[in-house]
Structure 1
Amino acid sequence: MSKIRSGRAKSATTAGALLAALLGGALAVAPSATAADYSPCTYGAVLHNKVTNPTSYKYVPYVGNSPNCWLDWGMSNTAVRALQKNLNSCYGYRLATDGDFGDLTESALKSVQRKVGVRADGDYGPNTRNAMVWANYSMETGARISCN
């Protein structure tokens, strides 16, 4: 089943292709402030807070040295897997943790976005990340301890 999406990834690709076609690839253009501030999440990172809880960690979407990134429909990587794992662990979904951001992940994310009071657009970004609760896992066993 093929769907047409208007997500950021498609928009950025389309805009880039159009710009390259118009300019013949001869000019470099600085990215917008939004694009410069938030890149696509590329991997899931283990965050360990040695001060407040030295025996647990969280697994969150990340890019470079920052959790300020975005995910949307059609993306496939370990950052999506981190999001799926958290949707399952803290919100009771039973998504396949396959790292593919498809219809089921989007639907679950929209439901969580409504629950936590952010715009329910199915796109994951800093506002959604900050509003969601995240699972804490034991450093020793890897078992989920809590969600907060």
Structure 2
Amino acid sequence: MTTTEPAPSSSASHTLLFDVSGIDLGSPIADRREIERFNPHRHEMALLDEVLWISDDCSCAVGRHRCRADAFWVRGHFPGKPLMPGVLQVEAGAQLACFLWNKQQPAPRVAAFLRIEQAAFRRSVTPGEDLLILCQE
């Protein structure tokens, strides 16, 4: 497995939300089973595979989606050169936000995006790679 990294850029719009250099990305704090205690997503649409870190004040988190060769979209997006659809990358981010929000609630609730602004895709994600997801309140 490889981890997607942002392409080098001098543009401030392509920087990460926060510094992840001090975060142990190899030791998940929540696996799929723990995530399902807080998130309603199941089966093919459970895109958040692990939570790797949550800040002490629960305002930031890092998660991971493992992009698998047998994912439902691989065969058709695009034949011979599969690329994870951007909308699914956004959904994976939404699921991390849902997990982070529900961790702060008395009981888990369904959360939904009403609007998305300034989404940026740093590069394509292909089967066999990990998509790191950063969330900041």
**TM-score over 0.5 (shorter chain):** no
More helix by share: 1
Who wins on radius of gyration, i.e. which is larger?
A: 1
TM-score (norm 2): 0.29
TM-score, normalised with respect to structure 1: 0.28
Higher relative contact order (CA 8 A, sep 6+): 2
